[in-house]
Structure 1
Amino acid sequence: MSTTLTVEHLTIGLPEGADRPFAVEDVSLAIEKGEILCVVGESGSGKSMTANALMGLLPPGVTVKAGRAMFEGRDVLRLPEAEKQALRGASTAMIFQEPMTALNPLMRIGEQISEVFAAHDRFTQAERRARSLDLIREVGLPDPEKIIRAYPFQLSGGQRQRAMIAMALALEPKLLIADEPTTALDVTTQAQILKLILDLREKHGMAVMFITHDFGVVAEIADQVIVMREGKVVERGKAVDVLENPQHDYTRRLLDAIPTGKLPKARVLSEVPALEIKNLRKVFRTGGGLFKPVREVRAVDDVSLTVASGEVLGLVGESGSGKSTLGRTAVRLVTPDGGQVLVGGTDLAALSEEELRRQRNKVQMVFQDPYASLNPRQRIMRALTDGPITRGVPKAQAQAKARELLEIVGLGADAAQRYPHEFSGGQRQRIGIARALAMEPDLIIADEAVSALDVSIQAQVLDLLRELREKLSLSILFITHDLRVAAQLCDRIAVMQKGKLVEIGTVHEIFLAPKQEYTRQLLAAVPGADWDQVQVEPA
């Protein structure tokens, strides 16, 4: 087997004033033809920076200080910019975590694939279109003639990722670099993308460098693994050896942080409801212009469920299932088209805007991206006290409560005087939880609150939510696409599909005896999971 890429002693320097001198330090690796190398590590480990260096995409101020990367007999780190551009797309290609930011929102999908051919002066216009259609078919997108004319916003997340892969494959590269391409996807779409990459590797004989923080993904696709921490490689080896017999403490900690197949013991739930949703409906309508019929999407279609006081109810389903819309409708960020949302006996769906403002504290939301929901110009103290002060809480009392909450979520009272950018993603998520608690709600709705976090940070946030549930008897509607996470935290799980509630039951019922085929499909799609080995904690 021939070697496609050899990286020797790569060192990448960071700008002066950064938290460490090197983003990547003395990293070496090799990828054989047709092999998948998974590069694993937490945020800040240097895995994405390594990939960006290989593609010539390092940000300003970040430079290669030492080392070489040999590909097709040339050191790609030292090539002139014109030669790097010629290499990108033709011999090396990259797919990114968020295709919506990598795709041009103003260009049709077919134009963006054809642009790859045009940039390398390949084929006639007619040939480019024909080859674009072939690529769309190859990556499994439905109705190629429709997709080729579609804009990115008209595709789902999984479809956009497939379109990105089609662009990457356009000129049949020898090396494909995939940077967290499945992290933001639901489990069934993730499983489809992983299978697609395996199939394409088999068909084209590509070498694949797959960057991830999910050892479940590693178990599904990797031949070789390297584990990175703070810019350095701490472990390397065959995937089976690293997974079954890790040598480094850091690798063992990452593996231990993965949500396991062990189900928590059942808890006795209160009969007092914190939230009652009755026959909730939300319909989105699009089109209706000249020659365009109105299109209706029943995002939430006659859904009824109850969250008991002190319960964590998991709401799971694929992208487009309606789970986030249900959460946002329950908190009245989206206006329902029918049904009731009862919190403490009050129907939030029926309140006027003025009445709703007075009741807003009863239900609080924790979002997926805490950085986007925090004002970057405001100190954390202000983020935690604005809501209570608006409700009439004296400023000194609100500030004392904020400091207490920061202690509770494990950040310390001195965090109050810092700004959001001074915290990591996991720390910002803790701030988001503290801000929700500052309003003393009856219920928290957590919408994909841990899906973008590294596994070790995710484990810490889940531990925090468990502690808060016990300490404060907190009720949580926990929205997630990751059934492994739901198994760790939730008392019951509700499964949604295409706006409807298709199954609800205890965690044990859903994982050990699912009634619906759709639920079984979701469970089967979880990467690296073996539900035949599920264990239940003793009572």
Structure 2
Amino acid sequence: MMAEPVLSIEGLKLALPVMADRPYAVEDATLRIAAGETLCVVGESGSGKSMIAHAVMGLLPKAVKPVAGAIRLAGRDLLALSEEAMQDVRGREVGMIFQEPMTSLNPVMRVADQIVETFEAHKLLTKPERYARAVALLTEVGLPEPERLARAYPHELSGGQRQRVMIAMALALEPKLLIADEPTTALDVTTQAQILKLIDNLRHKHGTAVLFITHDMGVVAEIADRIAVLEKGVLVEEGTVDQVLGSPRHPYTQKLLAAVPSLTPPERPALPESKPVLTVEKLGKVYRKRAFFRPGREVRAADDVSFTLARGETLGLVGESGSGKSTVGRCCLRLIEPDSGRITLGDLTITDLSVAALRPHRKRIQMVFQDPFASLNPRQTVGRIISDGPVAHGTSRKNALARAKELLELVGLSANAIDRYPHEFSGGQRQRIGIARALALEPDVLVADEAVSALDVSVQAQILKLIKDIQQRLGLAILFVTHDLRVAAQICDKIAVMQRGRIVEAGPTAALFSAPQHAYTRQLLAAVPGGERFGR
């Protein structure tokens, strides 16, 4: 006889508001997780996977209502509990790791105090015991110098360290169930590998059941025992990791797997020799962090960085968070002022120009940002967002809007979208708008800073195809900043690997991926999740 599962979701139906695009966020979902087991729930954005997690925690948005089914934790139906009873369940019986730890942690509280709060809320342990337990948890999740970091504030920690703090908080009361909602999406490959290994080790050590929400099939291959696939709120396939990844039955699962970018670069035709459109020589940038009552410190974000970029070519800047790749990209646009070195656009050395003298030349190099929602003005229509740049450079508003319609169609959206606002679009559609805005000034160089890292695999594949198609049509040179080596393999002609502000290895993508020379490059490639299964 099978042991009772830790979590049992039976026929769960979550109703959406009347004006939504479908009646139910989740429809008739049935799932079970045993002690010490990891169930990965996968699907595209909007598939309902996070709604399941929030339903288990009793944290659904007010507009989303459970109308059928049950959620049983060790036999007790959570949907039947009062809010007061659920407050006792959260933390004590169910812990949750959120996607973005910086927005989940209190910025004005020290790390240890935030863990101590968990014990205070449940009236557990004495004051000295609480602090000692907080430090012990920070030690258990592998943080260096736990005593020092216990006294630090969240902004003083790296992304990976903040995520470890979130895991420590989630495990503080040794809950029966751990919910991890996209916990590694924003992390680079080596930090991601460490966090996945940590979660896997902790669930084996404590016998915790893990509900892991993700859109990353590589992560699924690393951590899952079983997989549940959601499409628009409907559970379309469930099975072991070998069954679902090895022999997917449903067309939607097959589509998701087909969209996973391979680590094997495709063959590319050799580009004709041409004069560089972007030349970076010995670029240097130092950030100086000042502090009261203790010495400040310097961080060399870019140190003697040099490369060239030709028309129609894509150069990938890859490396961990903090390696300096985004700093280099922003220096190329002079959104950040470099401390040393030369940046040349065609024959124009832009580092020699004043801000006023640079202004008419800014249209020659444009940027696509990582978060399209944050980089698009929510109060402006799409037409205004795309046309403002050309208008600022002397084009009439009428002509700029006509060009905006053409660009919307170029990036795969309807020209009718011109009168809509950013919040009316999906993440992938907003990224297309960001690309259209960058193209409006007909640049020679496009800097794409983690332009697809926040998108699920099928939308990511569409955006990568779009970027390649536009590049071939317009002959754009692209500087592609990414921590995702799978994406870099598919889109980049050349790769430059950055570590601590320096380029440690550079070369053609196929040669660098097949025979990496530097130990750091080999470490990055080894850390790619699901490398064996999706390395094809």
One fold, TM greater than 0.5?
yes
1:207 aligned residue: 209
Query: Is the 8 Å Cα contact of residues 39 and 210 (structure 2) preserved in structure 1?
Result: yes
SS in 2 for 1:501: strand
Runs of 4+ that moved beyond 3 A: 531-534
Report 1:58-457 matches (<5 A). Answer: 58-269=60-271, 270-289=273-292, 291-457=293-459
Between the aligned partners of 2:359 and 2:96, the Cα distance in structure 1 is 47
Instruction: Give the conservation status (yes or no) of the 8 Å contact 1:2–1:33.
Output: no
Runs (5+) with no aligned partner, structure 2: none
CA distance, structure 1, for counterparts of residue 263 and residue 107 of structure 2 = 40
Quick check: 1:462 aligned with 2:464?
yes
Distance 1:234 1:119 in 2: 39
The SS at the match of 2:531 is coil
Distance 1:254 1:160 in 2: 30
Q: Does 1:481 align with 2:483?
A: yes
**SS of residue matched to 2:92:** coil
SS at 2:320 equivalent:
coil
The worse-fitting range, judged by mean Cα deviation, of 159-168 and 303-312 is: 303-312
Q: CA deviation at 1:16?
A: 2.4
Report how far residue 302 of structure 1 moved: 1.2
Give the residue type in structure 1 aligned to 2:99: Q
Q: Corresponding residue for 2:38?
A: 36
Amino acid in structure 1 at the alignment position of 2:282? N
SS in 1 for 2:80: coil
Determine helix, strand or coil for the equivalent of 2:280: strand
Report what 1:56 is aligned to.
Answer: 58
**DSSP 3-state at the match of 1:264:** coil
Please say if residues 43 and 454 of structure 1, whose CA atoms lie closer than 8 Å, have aligned partners that are also in contact. yes
After superposition, the C-alpha distances for 1:298-350 in whole angstroms (9 at most, x for unaligned) are: 11111111111110000000000000011011111111101111111212222
Partner SS state of residue 314, structure 1: strand
Aligned residue identity for 1:282? K
Task: Answer yes or no: is the 8 Å Cα contact 1:381–1:399 preserved in 2.
Answer: yes
- The Cα shift of 1:288 comes to 4.8
Q: In the aligned structure 1, how far is the partner of 2:100 from the partner of 2:318?
A: 21
Deviations 1:211-250 (A, max 9, x none): 0001111110101110001111011011110001001000
CA distance in 2, matches of 1:349, 1:228: 50
Q: What is the TM-score with the length of structure 1 in the denominator? A: 0.97
Contact 1:55 1:88 (8 Å CA) reproduced: yes
Structure 2: how far apart are the matches of 1:226 and 1:533?
Answer: 23
**Alpha carbons 1:95, 1:178 under 8 Å: kept:** yes
Q: Is the 8 A contact 1:366 1:447 kept in 2?
A: yes
- The aligned length equals 533
2:536 is equivalent to residue 525 of structure 1: no
CA distance in structure 2 between the partners assigned to 1:165 and 1:393 by the alignment: 52
Letter of the 1:321 counterpart: S
Whole-angstrom CA distance in 2 between matches of 1:316 and 1:261: 14
Identity, in percent, stands at 60
Residue 11 of structure 1 is matched in structure 2 by 13
Deviation at 1:2, TM superposition (A): 4.1
Amino acid at match of 1:197: I
8 Å Cα contact 2:343/2:351 also seen in 1: yes
After TM superposition, give the deviation of residue 397 of structure 1 in Å.
2.1
Residues 89 and 170 in structure 1, CA contact (< 8 A), matched pair in contact too: yes
In the alignment, the residues of structure 2 paired with residue 245 and residue 362 of structure 1 have an alpha-carbon distance, to the nearest angstrom, of: 48
Task: Quote how far apart the aligned CAs of 1:181 are.
Answer: 0.2
Q: How far 1:154 moved relative to its partner?
A: 0.3
| Distance of 2:263 and 2:75 partners within structure 1 | 46
Whether contact under 8 Å (1:261, 1:531) holds in the other structure is no
Give how far 1:412 is off. Answer: 2.0
Q: State the AA in 1 paired with 2:403.
A: K
Aligned to 1:495: 497
Amino acid at match of 2:110: R
Query: CA 1:401–1:532 in structure 2 vs 1: closer, same or farther (change >3 Å)?
Result: closer
Change (3 A) 1:50 1:532: closer
TM-score normalized by the length of structure 2: 0.98
Rounded to whole Å, the distance in 1 between the matches of 2:490 and 2:389 is: 31
User: Structure 1: which amino acid aligns with 2:448?
Assistant: A
CA distance in 1, matches of 2:323, 2:250: 40
Structure 1: any 5+ residue segments left out of the alignment?
535-539
The RMSD of aligned alpha carbons is: 1.2
